[in-house]
Amino acid sequence: MGAFIPQEIIRQKRDGQTVSDADIERFVAGITSGEVADAQISAFAMAVFFNGMSAEEGAALTLAMRDSGDVMNWQSLGFDAGAPIVDKHSTGGVGDKVSLMLAPIVAACGGLVPMISGRGLGHTGGTLDKFEAIEGYDPYPSIDRFAEIVRTIGCSIIGQTGELAPADKRFYGVRDVTATVESIPLITASILSKKLSAGLGSLVMDVKFGTGAFMPNYAASKELAENIVRVACAAGTPTRALLTDMNQVLGRTAGNAVEVVEAIEFLVNPATADARLMEVTLALAAHMLVIAGIEYSVEIATEKARQSLASGKAAELFEQMVTAQGGTPNILSNYQATLKVAAKAYAIKPKQAGIVTGMDTRSIGMAVVAMKGGRIDPKASIDHSVGFTDICQIGDKVDADAPLAIVRCHSDEQAREAIKAVQSAVVVADIKEAPLPVISEVIEG
C-alpha cells in the first residue's frame, strides 16, 4: 500500500469513481487522528454530496467510523453467539416516546435490547432527555453494568459516550458548517456507525416523514430508509425500515416528564393508550422480533407483543430497568408523585370550533424548546417539567370545551407564547379529513 494522500481519495470521489474499502478506512483513521484536515473532510463530504456512494462504499465508511471507537463485543461479556441482540432507531419526531415502551416489550418477548439513545436535536425530543426526567436515572453506567442489566432484565437504555464513533463526531461537526448535513450516504453512515457500535445482531429503523420529521419530504425519507437498509445489510447487520407518519404529534404529549407519564400509562393500562402510538409501537416490536429470529411472522409477533402488555410483563421490566439504573423505585405506582410536571396548566382553545385537518408538528416541537424543554445551545440544561398534554389529533373535533392541548409551564408569559404557537400550528376547518396511515411502508433488506 502506497503513501496515504487524502486529496487523491477526494479526487476519486469528486470524479465519480468508487473509493476502495482500504482508502475509506485510511481516510476515516485520518479523521480520528487529525491527519486529515477539516478542509479535506469538507471537500470529501461535498464530493459525496454530489456524487453519492455505492452500498459497498457506504458500508466501508460506516464500519470504519464504527471501528474508530469502542465496539461492544457481547460474547466477550458472556453472551451466547447468536443471542437475539436487536435494537431500533428513530430519525426523530415530536412526541416520539416509543423507545420507552418498545425496549421492555421486546425484552418481555425474549429479545435483548441494548439501546444507545441520544438527546433532543432541534425540534425533536430525545429519549435520553425523557429518561433524565426520572429522578436518579443513570444514563451512563459502566459497560459491564450495561451488559449485566441487558443480561438480567433484557433491556437497558443508555446515552452515547465520548468513545462511541469519535470519527463521526468530528465528521458531523464539519458537515454541520459546510452545507453537507443533508447527504443521504453521510446521514446513513452517521446513524449506523453509532448504532452498530452496540454490537447488534439486527436493527429496525423508524424513518419518519411529514411536518414534524427531520426529512419532511416523503420521497427523501424513503430514499434514506432504502439506503440505510442497503448499507446496514452490506455491513453485515440485517436491517429493515418502517416509514411512519409525523404529520401530527405521536401520542397525546410532547415534552419530557409528560411523555414519561404517557409511556408509563401506556404500559400499565394499554387499553386506554393512543391508537396511533400503539400501532407504531407494536409494529416496530413485531419487526424486531422477526428480524432477530424470535418469531417467524409479523402477525404472530404482533400478538406476542400485545400479550406482553396485557400480562403486565412489559411494564414490570420497564420498572426493573429504571430501578437497575438508579431511577425512582416502584415508579409504576408512584410516577404521578415523583415525576415533576410544571404546576401551571392552561387549556389552549381553538380560534374557531371545528375539525382538526392539519398540524405544523415542527412548530409544536419548537414551542416545547421555547419553554426550555429542549435545547438551543447543545450544552445547555433543559427543563424536563414543561410540555403539552391532551394534544389533539387530525380528525378530532375541537371547541371551547375540547381544547387543542393543555400546556404545562411555569408562568403566564410562557403560557401566552405556547398558546399562540399551538393555535397557529393547528389547522381547524368544517370538514373532516382522514389522517394518513401511521405506517406507510416497510422496506426489507
Residues with active-site annotation: 87-90, 127, 175, 190, 194-195
State the pairing for strand pair 202-209/239-245: parallel
Query: Smallest Cα–Cα separation from 98: which of 306, 224, 285?
Result: 285
Give one DSSP letter per residue of 342-353, joined into a string: -SEEEEE--SS-
3-state secondary structure of 163: coil
Residue type, 374: G
CB contact set of 372 (below 8 Å; sequence gap of 6+): 382, 383, 386
Q: Report the chain's terminal Cα–Cα distance, integer Å.
A: 34
Q: Distance between CA 438 and CA 445 in Å, rounded?
A: 21
State the cell numbers at 52. Answer: 453519492
3-state class of 22 per DSSP? Answer: helix
Angle at which helix 38-51 crosses helix 166-176, to 10 degrees, equals: 80
Alpha carbon distance 442, 204 (integer Å): 10
Contact at 8 Å (CB) between 107 and 224?
no
Query: 34 Cβ partners below 8 Å, 6+ apart?
Result: none
